[in-house]
Structure 1
Amino acid sequence: MHNTEIRYFMAVVSTGSISAASQQLFVAISAISRQIQRLENRLGVTLFERSPRGMQLNDSGHILANHVRRSMADMELVMAELKGIKAADQTTIRVVCTDGLAFTLLPNLMARFRQLHPRVSFFLSVGTARQVPDLVRNGECDLAIKFSLAPESGVEVLASFPSPVLVFMKADHPLATRDIQLADLNAWPIVLPDQSATIRQLFDLSCRMNNVFIDPIFTSNHFSTLYEFVRQTPNAISVSSHYSILCSARQDGMTIKTINRDQLSQRTLQLQTEMGKPRTAILNTFFSFLKQELHTLDQQCRQDFALQFR
């Protein structure tokens, strides 16, 4: 396949139409259309579903686009290595995560890593629990950090940490000094993430299994919004992993509590990367840094808030 065909193909993928690709590349629409047709003839398959609204990749198109993205990422990796970019030199690490982890944990860890390696840059993207594995498999990141309920195909798990569903509230809340059962939450304003979050799915499942019905007063798909709402609402309670709030809870006057239900202990926090993806020295250094820091933060949080779970 010729570079021009691939370049025009990826331009249509990124813009969604031949006309938009034409404007992006400053190339005639007919030339782009001709190269796409030539590429499809060469491969013997169509790559797009054509409609008045634009060009949408079909299954074959997705396979090719993902292959091109991985090849481009691998080429960037090779070029970096050939230029001698190692841990002390400049490079960009692409990270994807789910929402709660972008609140305070990853910004703190990335800032701390850059103090050790000041020429490293980060590009952080936030996706849903369903989107993140796709970004990993498609080679669109170097590392994913997410909460997981089950094994996922096409990803390599570099490290895994227990991450049960916990509750958090202000330190002066009436429940802050006693053991908590699910039914106890009914008497207080409950703030929850939406149903796309794995923590909400586990929480709802546990409530159903224990015949507890909870009607939240506030729901959002942004963790920072939930957190601030709890801070501003008297006696409010929300659910979280300790990893999402361990960098902010103490300074904000919050406390973290466990609910002793097995159903709430099924999640893990995972460091993931694409299966078989080659790694630079700086990536391996970052992986090792994250493993150690997450272990240390976990142990400190358990001690600070007297948390007991496996």
Structure 2
Amino acid sequence: MNHLRFLHYLDEVARVGSIRQAAERLHVAPSAVNRRIQDLEDELGTPIFERLPRGMRLTAAGELFVGYIRNRAADLAQVRSKIEDLQGLRRGTVKIVVSQAVASVFLPKHIAHFRSLHPMVDFQVQVGGHRQALNALRTFETELALVFNLAPENDIQAMSEHEQQLCVMMHKDHPLAVKPGKIRLRDCAEYPLVLPSGEMAGRQLLNDYLVRRSLKLRPAIESNSFDFLRGYLYHEQALSFQIAIGVMTDGGQLVSREIEDSGFPKGKLVLASLRGRQLPVIVYAFAEYISQVFANGEPS
């Protein structure tokens, strides 16, 4: 199927916008990539790319042709998966984009368990936010997305959802850690806050609630890295916030508390795919597995 490999050359140039960068990722000579593009343009009778000083940009015809390539690649993966399933091999690759919150504990645990049942299955895992997840689904770079508070989109299908609450995190030596039960947000205002950046779903959940209240929480530090936020709690009597599934206690060094405030909203962890796309058998099996984990109420 060499012709499919040559079509992949074009797709890769479309993704990165450069023949040289595409050739590096494909481990081939730039001249080979350029030659295949020229061959396809001659065959189609129209330019596929605009040659710009800073790279390559798809023409309208190119957009149509790349869509054809990606759909064809997805269909081929589905056929291969069905053939392998008939043979009882249960092999394949699962591509998934996930929120940071599930990348440290939840997803590694369940990929490991799934691979114990299907050891010939490979995984490609990317960590990203809503925009990256949606783009990866729409460009066929991934088959599944597992992200927090994914907004409804006409072309995105929610395969399962699991309700999640936001928790307050702190070091075990923090004054609030010795108090049993839930914590009021007003109590949090008395301590330095290290908060997720504004574009992150957990922060948006917090902000949406505070807008409706007379309470202000001013962050001392903001970051888009949960590893940084968690690590900072070791060095100051600060507080941070994390959805329940992403809470890491670091062997008891950190603790989490639920939020007591009446009416504080919960979010949803959403497992999603591109609507209308036929998923390979093993990808669908993994999606069903994760959906069953949610149904059993494990992420708490």
Q: Normalized against structure 1, the TM-score is what? A: 0.80
Decide whether the 8 Å contact of 2:85 with 2:281 is kept in 1.
no
- 2:81 partner SS: helix
* Corresponding residue of 2:121: 120
Cα distance in 1 for partners of 2:114, 2:20 equals 43
* Corresponding residue of 2:238: 236
Deviations along 1:104-131, one digit per CA (max 9) or x if unpaired, are: 2111111121122222111101121111
Identity of aligned residues (%): 27
Cα distance in 2 for partners of 1:10, 1:184 equals 53
Residue 221 in 1 paired to residue 231 in 2?
Answer: no
Residue 193 in 1 paired to residue 191 in 2?
Answer: no
Q: Which moved more, 1:178-187 or 1:117-126?
A: 178-187
Judged with a 3 Å threshold, the aligned counterparts in structure 2 of structure 1 residues 15 and 281 are, in CA distance, closer, same or farther, namely closer
CA shift at 1:37, angstroms? 4.1
Judged with a 3 Å threshold, the aligned counterparts in structure 2 of structure 1 residues 32 and 288 are, in CA distance, closer, same or farther, namely closer
- 2:161 partner SS: strand
Residue 271 in 1 paired to residue 271 in 2?
Answer: yes
Deviations along 1:244-282, one digit per CA (max 9) or x if unpaired, are: 12xx33733433222245775252101111212223443
Number of aligned residues: 293
- 1:187 partner SS: coil
Judged with a 3 Å threshold, the aligned counterparts in structure 2 of structure 1 residues 8 and 102 are, in CA distance, closer, same or farther, namely closer
Counterpart pick for 1:34 among 19, 24, 38: 38
CA shift at 1:163, angstroms? 1.7
CA shift at 1:97, angstroms? 0.8
CA shift at 1:93, angstroms? 0.9
CA shift at 1:71, angstroms? 1.9
Deviations along 1:165-208, one digit per CA (max 9) or x if unpaired, are: 22222344332324322222111121111122111122223223
- 1:265 partner SS: coil
Decide whether the 8 Å contact of 1:70 with 1:138 is kept in 2.
no
Decide whether the 8 Å contact of 2:167 with 2:243 is kept in 1.
yes
- 2:17 partner amino acid: G
- 1:195 partner SS: coil
CA shift at 1:57, angstroms? 3.4
Judged with a 3 Å threshold, the aligned counterparts in structure 2 of structure 1 residues 57 and 34 are, in CA distance, closer, same or farther, namely closer
- 1:153 partner amino acid: N
Cα distance in 2 for partners of 1:263, 1:202 equals 12
CA shift at 1:224, angstroms? 1.9
Cα distance in 1 for partners of 2:6, 2:89 equals 37
Cα distance in 2 for partners of 1:121, 1:173 equals 42
Q: Unaligned stretches of 5+ in structure 1?
A: 302-310
- 2:31 partner amino acid: V
- 2:122 partner amino acid: S
Q: Unaligned stretches of 5+ in structure 2?
A: none
Cα distance in 2 for partners of 1:234, 1:257 equals 18
Residue 206 in 1 paired to residue 209 in 2?
Answer: yes
CA shift at 1:68, angstroms? 1.8
CA shift at 1:294, angstroms? 3.2
Decide whether the 8 Å contact of 2:93 with 2:283 is kept in 1.
no
- 1:27 partner amino acid: S
Cα distance in 2 for partners of 1:14, 1:149 equals 24
Judged with a 3 Å threshold, the aligned counterparts in structure 2 of structure 1 residues 58 and 31 are, in CA distance, closer, same or farther, namely closer
CA shift at 1:36, angstroms? 5.6
Could you say what the CA RMSD is over the residues aligned between the two structures, in angstroms? 3.1
Judged with a 3 Å threshold, the aligned counterparts in structure 2 of structure 1 residues 52 and 82 are, in CA distance, closer, same or farther, namely same
